């Protein structure tokens, strides 16, 4: 049975996102598979995995994300997270009031430098590879959007729990590092969990082991989500049979008023999804055509 759709995994701690994808690829015996939004090995939570024709929609699934994470103050780690080596120590531990005064810095025009141990490329080489080789390099700051940021105390005076809603491409480890610097101390991410990508939340996810168990007994089809589920915010257009054939052949055609231009539309006929296209001055131009 050809499988096209999404599965939302609760990524376990201690393995890479690629390893999760690889395990599912082997279990399902599929060739086309990918994921939207890498999680660090120590992180857990929502990992969206596209199967078959759904891989064509990964680029359209760059949604806002929500993270819950624990920040520990007083130490600087080379990776900016719990897995790294401690390279500096400070006795300066901020209070709840101190931290509260800093939050505005993240909610307005925040630019962050990615961690040295990240997948950002420097002259074609991943930054984490250069960091492991002790090479000297610098990464450029980029603007990210943080729409909401809250925090609370824990039973340890140097640890605080945060919840952040942010744009895709935001590094939570950089937030912790920058927060430490703003407070004249050091900080790193001790725990990290992604709880939401767009409209996909923890209620939609399944444990990796549970999913693999369902695959083994052949009961996994009910937890495969449709391609449409991740495209629910893209307007849809219903087409007749003749125009459907033109779209599926990758041909452009006039369909709307000449003044209309739309970057993304979902096209379908009465039987299935056809793909994603744009409209430029009334002319439909296919971007991604589904073979369903």
Q: Are strands 44-51 and 65-73 parallel, antiparallel or unpaired?
A: unpaired
As a dihedral over the C-alpha atoms of residue 118, residue 167, residue 49, residue 290, rounded to 10 degrees, the angle is -120
CA atoms within 13 A on the CB side of 250: 3
Catalytically active residues are 40
Nearest CA to 35 out of 16, 49, 25 is that of 49
Both structure tokens of 272: 């299935």
Nearest CA to 54 out of 19, 119, 2, 1 is that of 2
Cα-atom radius of gyration of the chain, to the nearest Å? 22
DSSP for 138-181, written as a single string: ----EE--EEEEEEEE-SSTTEEEEEEEE-TT--HHHHHHHHHH
Both structure tokens of 281: 């001055």
Q: In the sheet where 273-280 sits, what is the strand order?
A: 236-238, 262-268, 273-280, 283-289, 253-254
Query: For residues 204 and 161, what is the distance between their CA atoms, to the nearest angstrom?
Result: 24
Phi, psi (5° rounding) for residue 273?
-75, 140
Q: Which single residue is written with the structure tokens 């033109």?
A: 246
Taking CA 56 as the corner, what is the angle to CA 292 and CA 33, rounded to the nearest 5 degrees?
90
């Amino acid at each position: 049975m050809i499988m096209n759709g999404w599965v939302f995994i609760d990524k376990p701690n201690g393995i890479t996102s690629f390893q999760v994808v690889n395990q599912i690829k082997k279990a399902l015996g599929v060739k086309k598979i990918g994921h939207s939004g890498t999680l660090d090995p120590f992180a857990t939570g929502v990992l969206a995995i596209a199967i078959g024709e759904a891989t064509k929609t990964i680029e359209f699934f760059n949604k806002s994300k929500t993270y819950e994470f624990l920040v520990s103050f007083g130490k600087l780690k080379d990776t900016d997270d719990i897995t790294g080596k401690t390279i500096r120590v400070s006795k300066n531990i901020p209070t709840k009031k101190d931290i509260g005064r800093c939050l505005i810095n993240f909610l307005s025009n925040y630019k962050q430098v990615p961690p040295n141990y990240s997948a950002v490329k420097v002259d074609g080489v991943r930054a984490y590879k250069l960091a492991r080789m002790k090479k000297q390099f610098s990464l450029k700051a980029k603007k990210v959007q943080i729409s909401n940021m809250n925090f609370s105390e824990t039973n340890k005076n140097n640890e605080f729990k945060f919840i952040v809603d942010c744009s895709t491409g935001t590094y939570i480890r950089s937030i912790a590092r920058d927060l430490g610097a703003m407070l004249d101390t050091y900080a790193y991410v001790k725990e990290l969990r992604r709880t939401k990508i767009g409209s996909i939340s923890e209620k939609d996810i399944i444990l990796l082991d549970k999913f693999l168990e369902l695959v083994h007994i052949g009961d996994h089809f009910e937890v495969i989500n449709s391609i449409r589920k991740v495209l629910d915010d893209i307007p849809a257009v219903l087409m007749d049979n003749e125009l459907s054939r033109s779209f599926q052949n990758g041909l452009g055609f006039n369909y709307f008023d000449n003044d209309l231009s739309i970057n993304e539309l979902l096209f379908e006929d009465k039987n299935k999804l056809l793909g994603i296209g744009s409209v430029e001055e009334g002319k439909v131009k296919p971007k991604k055509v589904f073979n369903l």
